[in-house]
Structure 1
Amino acid sequence: MAYAQSEVMKKTARIALVSLAMAFAGAAVTACQSDKDIDITKLGFESEPPEMLYNQGLANMKAGNIGEASRKFDSIDRQYPFTEWGRKALVMSTFSKYRLGRNEDAITTGNRYLKQYPNSEDSAYVQYLVGLSYSKQIADVTQDQKAAAQTIDAMSRVINEYPDSEYVEDAQAKIRFARDQLAGKEMQVGRYYLERKEYLAAIKRFRVVVEEYSNTNQVEEALARLVETYYAMGIVEEAQTAAAILGRNYPDSQWYADSYKLLQSGGIEPRENPRSWISRAGAKLIGA
């Protein structure tokens, strides 16, 4: 008898709890319906079908409302993932974030697209957008050049994985700029060591430029700095070789004129030593 009474009491309690929960739910719905300040779009939900949201996003893009367009595309991405509309929205979401200057968000969204749709018709474009987003973050050579290295990696993917795409030419230009930045960073550090007469450390930096960034705008100065550094150390043969390589490749350069003048002040002239690492590196230079 006591057991039966206990079960009845438990059942009654469950019914009461369910009724209470339904009452709270009804009150919440009523509040949402009556409260004019509540905007469900701010919660990330849109009531329109994906095609309509997508067209609204495009219309906002055309009107210059990039932020609103981005919100529309993100809404499709959240509500209709792994659908064709979701795929297209992810492309436009990457683009809109790039246009808004939200470069890290654009990179994250773009990489997610590439992971989900690696062989789609828009993969080359999205990879290009990722590269552009890295490129926009490249700082002055006095600062860290991580973004330059990331730009090279991302744009190299455009060239290697999508060689027939229309983005290859600009990807190559972005890589050249990024490489010049990396070389510029090496030069900035090398000059720092040279000014402090830390010659070996300076030579190490200038050598990186000559050997690894031979097709950048920094190589002329790098060779001239090698002339200056080796001459200051009394390693005349290497100074002469650096000047000879500089003169052969950039005979009209002011850097060569300055290097030639420096050597002549000591009664010597440029002369290449074919056994020098500078001579071997010089064979790869532009104009060699």
Structure 2
Amino acid sequence: MKKSIKLAISLSLALVVATGCSSRTEPTVPDKPAIALYSTAQQSLQAGNFVSAIETLEALDTRYPFGPHTVQVQLDLIYAYYKNSDTAQALANIDRFIRLNPSHKDIDYVYYMRGLTNMGADYNLFHDLFNIDRSDRDPSYANAAFNDFTRLIKRYPQSEYVADAQKRAISIKSRLARYELSAAEYYMKRKAYIAAIQRAQHIIDNFADTESRTGALKVMIKAYDILEQPTLKANAKKILAANAN
């Protein structure tokens, strides 16, 4: 009986060992010199195969941390993560690059990529694809993207990325204003009129150059009317009429 138990245990251990050995796989990225791996990564990037590019670039970063393409590998990884919609990894690598290379000649590009990454995270495929209004969704990434582009514009006004950053900042500003308007309208539905007026005033103060300004004034007019504030209502109506001209 004891011999049978020992035999069963031995067979089980052998099976575990055999299974463990058979489950070992060769490294996804072959062991090649840095220059060869870098060439492979560039081919993947150019082909739009970002998963493969990331695997190769990560291997390069790990195996050759002080190689001839170290800095460019980091820049390429940031781009590849962004294109692969890997927000967390892209932002982590961006922050690391800024921390280690604050005066690098391409630091403006890195700030630009942080804006693009945050903007991409805010992007909602179903919103654009099916024209679903989701202006009430969390604006955290939009706020971060706006700050990134604003920082780029202020710190590096001569950067080649400034023109595009300015266009994107305008678009994001409109998105943030729509969020504030959604909040104001929500408060109106809940009959929290003071809170609605405050959110509407925030739009007037900070997003006066967006289309949401009109909606904010309408919220204020309605709220002041309900609160029986004729003077404030009249002032809001006067501003709305002036904007319409």
* 1:164 aligned residue: 158
Query: Structure 2 regions of 5+ residues with no counterpart?
Result: 1-20, 125-133
1:200 pairs with 2:184: no
Query: Structure 1 regions of 5+ residues with no counterpart?
Result: 1-33, 252-288
| Superposed CA offset, 1:254-285 (max 9, x none) | xxxxxxxxxxxxxxxxxxxxxxxxxxxxxxxx
Give the alignment of 1:156-235 within 5 angstroms. Answer: 156-235=150-229
- How far residue 36 of structure 1 moved from its aligned partner, in angstroms, is 11
State which of 87, 90, 98 in structure 2 corresponds to 1:106: 90
- How far residue 223 of structure 1 moved from its aligned partner, in angstroms, is 1.1
Higher relative contact order (CA 8 A, sep 6+): 2
1:69 pairs with 2:25: no
- The percentage of counterpart residues that share the same residue type is 25
Q: 1:213 to 1:62 in 2, by over 3 A?
A: same
Q: Could you tell me which amino acid in structure 2 is paired with residue 195 of structure 1?
A: K
Give the alignment of 1:260-271 within 5 angstroms. Answer: none
Q: TM-score normalized by structure 1?
A: 0.69
Q: Could you tell me which amino acid in structure 2 is paired with residue 152 of structure 1?
A: F
**Residue 85 of structure 2 contacts residue 121 of structure 2 at CA under 8 Å; is this kept in 1?**
no
Tell me the distance in 1 between the aligned counterparts of 2:192 and 2:67: 60
| Superposed CA offset, 1:95-127 (max 9, x none) | 011111112211111111111112222211121
Tell me the distance in 1 between the aligned counterparts of 2:103 and 2:141: 26
Q: TM-score normalized by structure 2?
A: 0.81
- How far residue 204 of structure 1 moved from its aligned partner, in angstroms, is 0.9
- For the residue of structure 2 that corresponds to 1:131, the secondary structure is helix
Give the alignment of 1:29-44 within 5 angstroms. Answer: 38-39=25-26, 41-42=27-28
User: Based on CA coordinates, which of the two structures has the bigger radius of gyration?
Assistant: 1
* 1:145 aligned residue: 139
**Residue 106 of structure 1 contacts residue 133 of structure 1 at CA under 8 Å; is this kept in 2?**
yes
* 2:8 aligned residue: none
| Superposed CA offset, 1:146-195 (max 9, x none) | 11111112112211222111111221222222222222222112111212
Tell me the distance in 2 between the aligned counterparts of 1:35 and 1:88: 37
- For the residue of structure 1 that corresponds to 2:137, the secondary structure is coil
Tell me the distance in 2 between the aligned counterparts of 1:82 and 1:119: 19
Tell me the distance in 1 between the aligned counterparts of 2:32 and 2:67: 16
| Superposed CA offset, 1:58-114 (max 9, x none) | 111222321111111111111222444111100000101111111221111111111
Once structures 1 and 2 are overlaid, which stretch shifts more, 56-65 or 172-181? 172-181
Q: 1:36 to 1:246 in 2, by over 3 A?
A: closer
Give the alignment of 1:105-124 within 5 angstroms. Answer: 105-124=89-108
- How far residue 241 of structure 1 moved from its aligned partner, in angstroms, is 0.9
Post-superposition, which runs of at least 4 consecutive aligned residues in structure 1 deviate over 3 A?
34-38
Tell me the distance in 2 between the aligned counterparts of 1:137 and 1:232: 39
